[in-house]
Each structure stands twice: as C-alpha cells, then as structure tokens.
Amino acid sequence: MPPLLNANLERKKFLNYSLKTQCNRLVKDAVTLKMPTNLPAEAQLAWQKYLEAKTTEEKIKALEEFISLVPKHKGTEKLLMQAKKSLTKLKLQLLKKKEIKKGAGIHPAFSIPKEEDAQITIFGLPGTGKTALFNYLTNNDAPIGKPTTVPNIGIFRFSGASFQVIDLPPLFSDNIDSTPNGRSIVSLMRNSDLILIVIDATQDLSWQVDTIRRILKKSRIIYSKPRPPIRFEKLSRGGIQIYGAQFTNFDLTELKEIIKSLGIQNCILEIYGPVDEEDILNALDKRTVFKKAIVAVTKVDAISFEIDLEYLSKEFRIPIILTSAFEKTGAVEIGNAIFSALNLIRVWTKKDGKISDRALILKKGSTVRNAAEKIHSDFVKKFRYAIVERQKGKVKRFRVGLDFELEDNDILYINTRD
Ligand SMILES: Nc1nc2c(ncn2[C@@H]2O[C@H](COP(=O)(O)OP(=O)(O)OP(=O)(O)O)[C@@H](O)[C@H]2O)c(=O)[nH]1
Ligand SMILES: [Mg+2]
C-alpha cells in the first residue's frame, strides 16, 4: 500500500481536498481502492501526484501516468479497473467544461456542401504534396509548390463513382488555433465521409505521424476503430434510461451518476455489445466523430529507400497507399481503398440494352428497392420486376423483387408499369 494512503493524516488531506473539488464519488472510489503493497515507486509517486493535483487536467495526466506504471497482473486488475473508471469520470468533467461553440468563426470558403457519392478531405502538414495529389486525382491544375490558403474542390472519378475531393490548406501543429483557419480545416475534416491523410515520403516519418495523430486526437476524430455499439440520445423527458449496463465495467448507478454529472436529466443510453471506458466517454461526448480514413504516402518517386510500411500500419491501423503525383501512381489503389473503407458497392443500370457509364453507388447490403429509390422515387411505386445480371465465373441472370440484395458490379434492369 502506498505510504500516502496508509497514513491517516494523508488520507484526511486527500478527503478534504477531494471534497473541496466536489469529487465526492472519486473520493469513495479512491478510498475503496485496495492498493497492493508491492507497487513500484514510480507508480506510488504518480499516485501522490494525482492526489495533489489541483486541476482536472493535472489529475487526468497523473492518473494516466499511474495506470501506465502499475504492473498488469491478476493482483492489480481491480485497482486498474477502478482507476480507469475514475479516469473516465475526470475526462467527462473536463468535457463539460470545454464544450465547443458550434460553427464558431467558419470562413465562408470553408463551408462546402456535400456533393457526389462521397466527400473526401485531403489532410496533411505543409508542403507534403496534397495539392499535387489533388490535381492528379481530380485532373485539376491548382498551383503547387505554394501554400494552399483556401480549399480546392474537385471530382475524382473512379470506376463509375464520383467522389468530391477537398484539398485542404495545411495544419502546422496540434495547436489548431495557431494555424490560419485551423478550426475551419478541422471542421471540414469532421464533416467529410473520409479523410485522406497525406504523409510525405521525403520528410521525417515519425514527426509527421506523431503530429497528425495528435491533431486528430485533439480534434476528437476517431479513425482507427469502428463506432462502438452504443446509442446515446438526449431527450426532453423520461429521465435517464439505460440499457445494456452489463456490457460495461460500470453498474447502473455509476452510469446514471456519470450522466447526471454532465448535467443531463433525460436521455437514453443503449449499449448493445462489449465496450470499454473510452467507448463510453466517446459516446457521451457529442464532439467525438468516427471517421473513415486512409493514408497516402506521397512523392515515392523521389526516394531511394523503402518506406517503413510496418511502422505506418502499426501507428495508424488503416490502409496505407504509396503514391506519386508526378508519376501518376496510386489513384486506383486510393479508389479501391475508398470503396472498401466506406463499404460501397457499384451497381450498373441497364436501359434499352445499354449499360450506363455511371454506376449507382450504394452501401453494402443495399437492395433493389434502395437502387430504385436512388434512380427515381416513381421507380418503387411503378415497379413490376427487376433483372439482375451477376458475373460469377459465368454470367447469371435473376428475375427478382424489391427486396433482393445487390452485390458489387451487379447489372440491374428495372421494369416499371407506365
Ligand atoms: N518528387 C515529387 N515531388 C512532389 C510530388 N508532389 C508534390 N511534390 C513537390 O512537393 C512540393 C509541395 O507540393 P504541394 O502539392 O504544393 O504540397 P501541399 O501539401 O499542397 O502544400 P501546402 O498547400 O503548402 O500544404 C512541390 O514543390 C512539389 O513539386 C510528387 O509526387 N513527387
Ligand atoms: Mg496545397
């Protein structure tokens, strides 16, 4: 047990302090924490820092440090779980303090409505080849070699799909407010369907990776894991309704308390699969967005060494694509990666025996009904039957109804009543 918690005096000091900062629940948690006697000195020191921390930020930092320093084994399992719970609560307190003002100071050139099949933002540090890549993908000739100050917009046509591409001005560091229009840039990224992260092969990799990951973290953009199985919605009445608490490390009372501490009286929190503290935190924090992302390593024509793909994959845990705008390589791989990240399929429509040039871009799992609705609202009302041609080895033809599930590259003919 750390000497601190052992000593009555220190315990009293801790209680007083915590009460002062109105973290009553935390006090209870901390006091009920059974501290093993054999904690390393560094962990004890971190714990002491936590007890003495004055601000929520300091407490979070110290508690994170404490958690990282406690050896992970059976004997410390409970302690770590309690510490993580306390950390979640502290982070939520901080969240409440830092609510972002909606739409604050967005430059008009940065207000870009979504068009085409999906909106892609190109994001990276200065001079990393974003505009050159944009020109290559969208067949544009925006100036390169000079800083982009307002976004360039173009269309990347790929395999029957059209993606709206936004070439963003660069972010310089994770201090978003120190970059001109930093918040507008982040806001575009948060609003897009997919972020194309640019890493320059000719510059130091780890510096770029660290800065970019810090920017995304600070912007509360989560890109490397799917949305957790949680639904959270504020309501105007009905109290706090919670379903699926058994999937968390918290009990029902603790979850209610967390929600109340955010000043929420009426809401529904539905958890329908195993989640951790971080997932709950993200679900309750309305600023967090889950985005699909891929990495484009640019300028690979200009290097004479192999890019450390293992390192990049480990850091980002999303697809990494090597590109050169000068040698025009990588567009196909980027197109395919967009399709797979966004879970899209293309369905080709057939009219008067002719297959259209542009595909219908649908989500995986879409049916003939979804395709018909996308073509014209009348198509569902007047629908008689559809013919689907599917090439699997040899072409198969099916006569199907509205609920038939389509697959990538199906050819669809819809017969309607006049
Ligand atoms: N060798 C090589 N150089 C490239 C490539 N793409 C861009 N560059 C060079 O990299 C420099 C920066 O390119 P830009 O496309 O303007 O970079 P950017 O990221 O848009 O720059 P900012 O808008 O200032 O952030 C230019 O001098 C380009 O000539 C490439 O594929 N290969
Ligand atoms: Mg540029």
Q: What is the share, in percent, of the chain residues with pLDDT greater than 70?
A: 89
Confidence band, pLDDT 50/70/90 cuts, at residue 57: confident
- Closest residue by CA, ligand 1 atom 25: 126
Predicted confidence (pLDDT) per residue in 318-331, tens digit:
999 999 999 999 99
Ligand 1 nearest atom to the CA of residue 128, by list position? 19
d(CA 215, CA 168): 14
393 in a structural domain = yes
End-to-end CA distance of the chain: 82
Number of Cβ atoms within 10 Å of the Cβ of 106: 14
Lookup: tokens for 133: 């890549």
- Closest residue by CA, ligand 1 atom 5: 299
- Closest residue by CA, ligand 1 atom 14: 129
195 C-alpha to ligand 1 centroid (Å): 18
**Nearest CA to 29 among 245, 216, 251?**
251
391 and 259 fall within a common domain = no
The answer to whether 124 and 67 are in contact (CB under 8 A) is: no
Helix (H) or strand (E) holding 28: helix 24-32
CATH number at residue 392: 3.10.20.30
284 in a structural domain = no
Average pLDDT of the residues of the chain: 86
250 and 375 fall within a common domain = no
136 and 183 fall within a common domain = yes
113 and 261 fall within a common domain = no
d(CA 349, CA 351): 7
197 and 267 fall within a common domain = no
Residue 37 has a pLDDT of: 59
190 and 216 fall within a common domain = yes
Q: What residue type is assigned to position 187 of the chain?
A: S
Kindly tell me if the per-residue pLDDT of 54 is higher than 60: yes
Kindly tell me if the per-residue pLDDT of 16 is higher than 50: no
Task: Say what the pTM is.
Answer: 0.76
- Closest residue by CA, ligand 1 atom 10: 129
Across 244-393, where does the E strand assignment appear?
Answer: 267-271, 289-290, 292-298, 320-322, 344-351, 354-355, 360-363, 383-392
Residue 392 has a pLDDT of: 79
The CA angle 397-399-403, to the nearest 5 degrees, is 120
- Three-class SS of residue 319? coil
How many folded domains does the chain comprise?
4
155 C-alpha to ligand 2 centroid (Å): 16
Range of the domain at 257: 230-278
- Last residue of one domain, picked from the residues 97, 118, 137: 97
Lookup: tokens for 350: 């057939």
165 C-alpha to ligand 2 centroid (Å): 13
Mean pLDDT of 40-59: 88
286 in a structural domain = no
120 and 66 fall within a common domain = no
Residue 417 has a pLDDT of: 87
188 and 272 fall within a common domain = no
Residue 105 has a pLDDT of: 58
Neighbours of ion ligand 2 (CB under 5 A): 130-131, 148
d(CA 151, CA 302): 26
55 and 32 fall within a common domain = yes
The answer to whether 67 and 43 are in contact (CB under 8 A) is: no
Predicted confidence (pLDDT) per residue in 216-239, tens digit:
999 999 998 888 999 999 999 999
DSSP state of 218: H
Mean pLDDT of 10-16: 40
